[in-house]
Structure 1
Amino acid sequence: MRITPRTHEVQRVVDILEDPTFEGPEQLAKAVIKEVAEIVQMRDLVVLVHTWAGGSKGLNMGPFGSIAEAEAFAKKMSFGGTGRPVPITSSGVLLANHDGKTSWPGYCYEEGCGHAPWTHAIEGASRGKCHLETCSCSKFRKDDPNRKKPAKKAASKGTGKSINEL
């Protein structure tokens, strides 16, 4: 399965690798494996559904990272029969929509919420309180409050001289 790492995913693994509290390489490796598994679980993936030429159920294979990857695999393997890629929604995404996914991009960063944007009411051009009865979130928080935004570079001021004077 081919996975193109996303910036926030890379940062999660880097944070683990730079954490000095791990007592040994085994503990560090376990933490990295668990984090990567959670990252993969938050991806919508694709499976290849196969039917033999006689019409009987075939070999269902996957997951694949994209439809193109599933189709390329099917052409390379030449099993016979027919196959088609089927997108599947990950269990991690479904659970995150229901239970909340704290500190995950796209989900609410309000403490105690972590739900998807569509679970929040629309208030003008933004999102308001969470509709889930078990959540007390009053406003959708899009950005991680713990991450500082990069400072904008101030526009350089000219020397006041014309181009001919320089």
Structure 2
Amino acid sequence: MRITPRAYEVKKVVDILEDPTFDSPEQMAKAVIKEVGDMLQMRDLYVLVHTWADGSKGLNMGPFGAVAEAETFAKKMSFGGTGRVVPITSSGVILANHDGKTSWPGYCWNPECGHSPTNHAMDGSSRGKCHISVCNCSKFMKDDPSAKKTKKATARAGAAKGVNEL
């Protein structure tokens, strides 16, 4: 399976590597492996489902990280018969939709929630209250509140201000 690292995934691993609280390289390695395992469990994956020419069940192969990767593999291997690419839903995604996946992109950033947007009711054009019965989240938080950027004065606003000061 080809893995293209995503920026937020790289950041999580870098955070572990820069964490001075680990007592040994082994502890750090275990933390990295667990984190990467969690990341891979949240990815969309695909399998190649194969049927022999006589119609009997063939070989099922995967996972693949993309449809194109599965198709390329099938062309290289030429097993005979037919095949098709099927998306599979990761157990990690299912658990995250139910239990929450705090600080995961696309999931609610409310520290008491962490559920997917589809678990939140529509409130006009945005998402509101969480549907999970044990969750008290009243509004879907799309972004990390600690990462909110402060508004910078635009060049136009600064130029206009300078003209007014003359």
Fold conserved between structures, TM > 0.5: yes
Sequence identity of aligned pairs in percent? Answer: 73
What residue in structure 2 maps to residue 98 of structure 1?
A: 98
Task: Tell me the TM-score normalised to structure 2 length.
Answer: 0.88
Distance 1:60 1:32, change over 3 A: same
* AA partner of residue 87 (structure 2): P
Aligned positions, number? 160
Matches within 5 A, 1:15-26: 15-26=15-26
What root-mean-square deviation, in Å, do the aligned CA atoms of Structure 1 and Structure 2 show? Answer: 1.8
Give the distance between the partners of 1:150 and 1:51, measured in 2 at CA.
Answer: 56
2:144 maps to 1:144: yes
Unaligned runs of 5+ in 1: 161-166
Distance 1:134 1:41, change over 3 A: same
| TM-superposition CA deviations, 1:71-96 (whole Å, max 9, x none) | 10011111111111111111111111
Give the distance between the partners of 1:153 and 1:30, measured in 2 at CA.
Answer: 45
What residue in structure 2 maps to residue 85 of structure 1?
A: 85
SS in 2 for 1:15: helix
Q: Which has the higher helix share?
A: 2
Distance 1:91 1:153, change over 3 A: farther
* AA partner of residue 157 (structure 1): A
Give the distance between the partners of 2:138 and 2:79, measured in 1 at CA.
Answer: 54
Task: Tell me the TM-score normalised to structure 1 length.
Answer: 0.88
Unaligned runs of 5+ in 2: none
Matches within 5 A, 1:63-142: 63-142=63-142
Give the distance between the partners of 1:149 and 1:23, measured in 2 at CA.
Answer: 35
| TM-superposition CA deviations, 1:99-129 (whole Å, max 9, x none) | 1111111111112111111211222222211
